[in-house]
Amino acid sequence: MPVRLGPIEVNRRYPQNLQIFVSCISTASLHFGMKRLLLVCLFSILAVAAKAGDNIPKGEWVLLVGGPSLKEWEQYKAQPHDHWWANFVRAARLRTEQLRDGLGPDAPITWLVYKQGYLDRMTQEKQDLVALIESVRDKFNIKLVWFRNGDDVINYLNNGQDRRRLKVAGFEYFGHSNRACFMFDYSSNVDSASKSFLHESQLKQIHGNSFAKNAYVQSWGCHTGEEMSAWFYHATGIKMIGALGKTQFMMEELPILTSQGGKWVTMPEKQPSN
C-alpha cells in the first residue's frame, strides 16, 4: 500500500535517474529498527543460500509494481501519499539488486509494471518516467512487462511462460494495498480509491501449479496479512507473507512495518491497534 506514516519528502529537484537519491534520516523506534535489522538479515541469508545452491526455489522471479497516486487527489490530506513518483519502483529495484547478487546475472527476473500510473504521473513530474523504468530493465537484465489490470497479472502468472518448464519461483508486490486487494492506481483516477486492482476474490483464477514447490511470495504493501494472505494460500497452496498493519516505502531499504504491534505473517492474526 502507500507510504502511510511519515511519507518521505524528496528534494523538489526530483532525481533525473534512479541512481541519484537524496539521503534520509530514519526516525523509527529501536523496536522497529530491530525488525528492520532482522528483515535485512533474512534477505542476506537468502542471497548467500542462493549462491550455495541451497533450498532456493528454481524458476522465474516476478516483481509486481503498482503505480503512484497523483497530487491532485493527495495534496490536501494530512499525510499525502507518494511525494516521490518512484516509491515502488525504487523498492523493486533494491529487491532486484538482492536477487541478482544471490541468483546470478542470468536468473529470470520479470517486472510487471502498471504503465498507466506512470503515464498519468508524467504530467506532474515533467519527465519521461517510462524511460527511467526501462533504464532499470537494461541495467539489471530483466524482462519488463506492462500490465493494465488484475486479469493481466493473473494471465502472466499462469501463461506468461511455459509453466511446465519454468515455474514462478518468487512473486512479490510493491504498491498500494488494503486487507483485500492490491490497488494499482490508488488515488490516481479517483480519490482514495482504485479502478485497477487484484482483489482476493480473483485469486482462485491463479493456477497453484504455476509456482515452484517452495516458491517465495510476499506483499510489501499495507494490511495484506490481515486477510489477503489467507485467500492467496487457499487459492494456490502457497503461503504469502503480508503485513499486519501499515508499511512504509523507504529510499535505501525495503519497506518497513510502521504500525505498533505490526508484523509479517502468512495467516491472519490479531490486528495492530493502528
β-partners of residue 198 are 182
Integer Cα distance of 159 and 110 in angstroms? 13
pLDDT of 10 reads 24
Rounded Cα gap, residues 133 and 111, in angstroms: 10
Q: What angle do CA 268, 273, 274 make, to 5 degrees?
A: 100
> What three-state secondary structure class fits 215?
strand
Residue 267's SS3 state is: coil
Residue-level pLDDT at 269: 78
* pLDDT, tens only, 70-109: 766 455 565 656 568 999 999 999 999 999 999 999 999 9
Measured CA angle at 260 (ends 248, 257), to 5 deg:
25
Q: What is the reported pLDDT for 30?
A: 38
217-227 tens-digit pLDDT: 999 999 999 99
**Helix segments in 6-104, DSSP class H:** 30-52, 71-74, 87-103
Quote the pLDDT of residue 163: 98
The predicted pLDDT at position 71 comes to: 65
148/197 Cα distance (integer angstroms): 9
**CA gap 140, 105 in Å, rounded:** 8
In tens, the pLDDT along 98-155 reads: 999 999 999 999 999 999 999 999 888 899 999 999 999 999 999 999 999 999 999 9
The structure's pTM equals: 0.79
Mean residue pLDDT across the chain: 80
pLDDT value at residue 123? 87
What's the whole-number mean pLDDT along residues 229-235?
97
Which carries the bigger pLDDT value, residue 124 or residue 243? 243
Q: What is the pLDDT of residue 268?
A: 83
> pLDDT band at residue 174, thresholds of 50, 70 and 90?
very high
Structural domains in the chain, CATH included, are 30-265 (3.40.50.720)
C-alpha to C-alpha distance for 82 and 70, rounded to whole angstroms: 8
pLDDT at 13: 28
Measure the CA–CA gap between 261 and 270, rounded to whole angstroms: 9
Q: What is the pLDDT of residues 5-51, one digit of tens each?
A: 222 222 222 233 333 222 222 333 334 454 455 455 555 445 444 44
| Locus of grid cell 506514516 | 5
**61: confidence class by pLDDT, cuts 50, 70, 90:** very high
Give the mean model confidence (pLDDT) for residues 176-191.
83
CA dist 191 and 14 (Å) reads: 24
Residue linked to cell 497453484: 208
Q: Stretch 51-63: mean pLDDT, rounded? A: 79
